[in-house]
Structure 1
């Protein structure tokens, strides 16, 4: 493929806006089309960003010869069905996290892409930024890792609307949503990428009733926040996530020789290392004892995942190997999140289909 990869988008949310702000920074991708159930809405969203094609029918988008790849940023419950239709017509898909409602759906997407000879990749931004590469490189300096903590929680403006009784996609199990799928995924995926699928999962959640859901429904509970312990035998990884409060603490990986600390789990920044020194009964580490790691991250950091995706579409061997590796991370992470949801009592309609 000599020309630029021609992207269309599905979705008009803030994350889709961020994608389109980052896309011009990629030298090998260009924006051509927007999809919405309302064609006028598709035009209103896509035209200011340079789109010239507007769709209100998914099959028309899937068969368009002027589109090579689609960025799928619809509600989670639609990710896998839309991706499967696009893949069946030969389109590459970059699917916003969480890639699917559960592990079974994600496996179906990856299997279909492999059969069709196209690329399917999850847009999980914090695995593709240079700081994640730096985290991986630094693990070898830490000695035997014993504990890790990954944290991400922020108040959403929709909390007040939920409390007022409004039904919202982001807090609706029928949309495969909730705090874990929207926020917790940013913690689960790096944990699985760094340490693999855990042997054990222990979870507690803060949940709420779903407004308007009939009494006795399997989809009457949604999660607002949670704490998860992942057991690996020789180490424990703690995950803290939520949409009901702002978490101001850092994430870290603690080994027997040193501890690596960073901020902003959704796009790691401010990496620093504390090297252990036996000073006797000292219980406090000063900021001056943390050695910074200088890593540059693009201001529009989503360009990192776009470049990785485009590289895979073009057949670059390193990009394809990376995509293959992170396919396993996506599947392993959904395996963990399926179990977390089971323990905290959040169920999606897609779970019924997976178990059929």
Structure 2
């Protein structure tokens, strides 16, 4: 198995160290962008890699490699993996697999169509200690709780706090705690328990709108799982699975699982079946074994997992972008819920019963008080029934009007609604990032808003991210301030962000 490596970052250094323990995989080439050529050449000398490229197309044409390993910034995964697959190369791509579930499905379909190996490198799933957990899981009975925590103070966080934003903390590079450390928590949970019925995410946001830490809540039929990920603070990391007959704890960070502690019927044991100190050795050996055996079932199982996790990430990002955790329960929203429930009340039988009671009590001696009671009930129920019909008429009329005006005013209504949904995530002179839940997964709206923003004087570029629901606008401050209205708007945005 011959491997070409893309990138020179920290993960590539880790991968090369691990590959030293996997002699079955030959490292034949390394690619880097032109500005990182010296770093690539240094790695080539250190690890005996024969060829160094700065032209990706040339690498794909010329290299003898069977596989391309993609250790690039997260937002580059999709395009570089797609191009490699189109060139007939097998692909190993670092987590997170892609930026959106849609991208994940496109890569899956392309790989399966050409029967090419496409593997996401998630160390957790290939560790012997993870297989220990799979082995003992049926013995702890019905699952009642899962608590995952991967908290690791990032080596880049100090510089981030000074305003120096590296890709790991750049939302435009799909950085952040959930996409990085959270990927391991989610892969662990989804592999063992499948996709949850409901998922929400509460992030702690940095000055540029990236989640420096956060907590996901995953709701299953019989239990709830919590998944904490933090790059801005540190604590002991572990994943605890609680069942009715015992518990299992994955000790240490979820990407390495240094040991597994199992307690069944109050008897506790700690197990470590990992054969290598470096967490990435096991996954590369698993990849080589699958390729050597032509085990395409291994690939398909992995792709099911990758697509599922990316879909879950889409859901969590959409929830976080909606700001639901920031909104109190508003009185108006409660009134709307009451109206909806009121419209569904079945009043037919009570109306019939009160009508019958009112009529019958007319002919019964000594039933004056009962007659008044039935008559009062009939009046109240009749009024309620009339109110139900009135609400339904208003609702139907609103739908009819909306259908009639949508063709004429759709674009204007969409823009108005979009503007009302905007929140400022970060702002400095010349660079503003806003967010809107309406952008999540909405490519047509993103294209419309990008084009609209670029029509303003001084605006250099506008880039929407439909995965995170953000819009980054870069502009020339002096030129933009030449328009009084825009100057006032900029001042308001910068003042709001400074609070």
Class of the TM-score when normalised by the shorter of the 2 chains: 0.7 to 0.9
Q: For 2:161 and 2:145, locate their aligned partners in 1 and report how far apart those are by CA, in whole Å.
A: 36
> What's the offset of the Cα at 1:260?
0.5
**Match of 1:306?**
284
Q: 1:56 to 1:24 in 2, by over 3 A?
A: same
**Match of 1:246?**
234
Q: 1:352 to 1:31 in 2, by over 3 A?
A: farther
Q: Residue 7 in 1 paired to residue 19 in 2?
A: no
**Match of 1:155?**
153
* Larger Cα-atom Rg: 2
Deviations 1:42-77 (A, max 9, x none): 212222111111110111111224221111000000
Q: Residue 328 in 1 paired to residue 304 in 2?
A: yes
2:77 equivalent among 76, 79, 89: 79
Contact 1:119 1:312 in 2 (8 A): no
Q: For 1:152 and 1:24, locate their aligned partners in 2 and report how far apart those are by CA, in whole Å.
A: 27
2:204 equivalent among 206, 223, 233: 206
Q: 1:347 to 1:176 in 2, by over 3 A?
A: farther
Normalising by structure 2, we get a TM-score of 0.63
Q: 1:251 to 1:291 in 2, by over 3 A?
A: same
Structure 1 unmatched runs, 5+: 211-220, 278-288
1:149-228 equivalence runs, <5 A? 149-210=147-208, 221-228=209-216
Q: For 1:301 and 1:157, locate their aligned partners in 2 and report how far apart those are by CA, in whole Å.
A: 19
Contact 2:255 2:279 in 1 (8 A): no
> What's the offset of the Cα at 1:24?
2.6
Q: 1:355 to 1:259 in 2, by over 3 A?
A: farther
> What's the offset of the Cα at 1:246?
0.7
Q: For 1:170 and 1:198, locate their aligned partners in 2 and report how far apart those are by CA, in whole Å.
A: 27
Contact 1:179 1:243 in 2 (8 A): yes
Deviations 1:64-122 (A, max 9, x none): 24221111000000001000001111111110000101111111111111122210100
> What's the offset of the Cα at 1:19?
0.9
**Match of 2:419?**
none
Q: Secondary structure at the match of 1:311?
A: helix
**Match of 1:292?**
270
1:24 equivalent among 8, 16, 20: 20
Q: For 1:52 and 1:347, locate their aligned partners in 2 and report how far apart those are by CA, in whole Å.
A: 48
Runs of 4+ in 1 over 4 A off after TM superposition: 346-356
Contact 1:42 1:56 in 2 (8 A): no
Structure 2 unmatched runs, 5+: 322-434, 447-499
Q: After the TM superposition, which of the residue ranges 32-41 and 121-130 deviates more from structure 2?
A: 32-41
Q: 1:295 to 1:58 in 2, by over 3 A?
A: same
2:51 equivalent among 50, 53, 61: 53
Deviations 1:144-164 (A, max 9, x none): 111111110111121121111
> What's the offset of the Cα at 1:274?
1.9
Q: After the TM superposition, which of the residue ranges 257-266 and 193-202 deviates more from structure 2?
A: 257-266
Contact 2:19 2:281 in 1 (8 A): yes
Q: For 1:63 and 1:352, locate their aligned partners in 2 and report how far apart those are by CA, in whole Å.
A: 36
Q: For 2:213 and 2:241, locate their aligned partners in 1 and report how far apart those are by CA, in whole Å.
A: 22
Q: For 1:347 and 1:28, locate their aligned partners in 2 and report how far apart those are by CA, in whole Å.
A: 49
Highest RCO, 1 vs 2 (Cα 8 Å, sep ≥ 6): 1
Q: After the TM superposition, which of the residue ranges 138-147 and 41-50 deviates more from structure 2?
A: 41-50
Query: Which of the pair is proportionally richer in helix?
Result: 2
Contact 1:104 1:354 in 2 (8 A): no
> What's the offset of the Cα at 1:347?
8.6
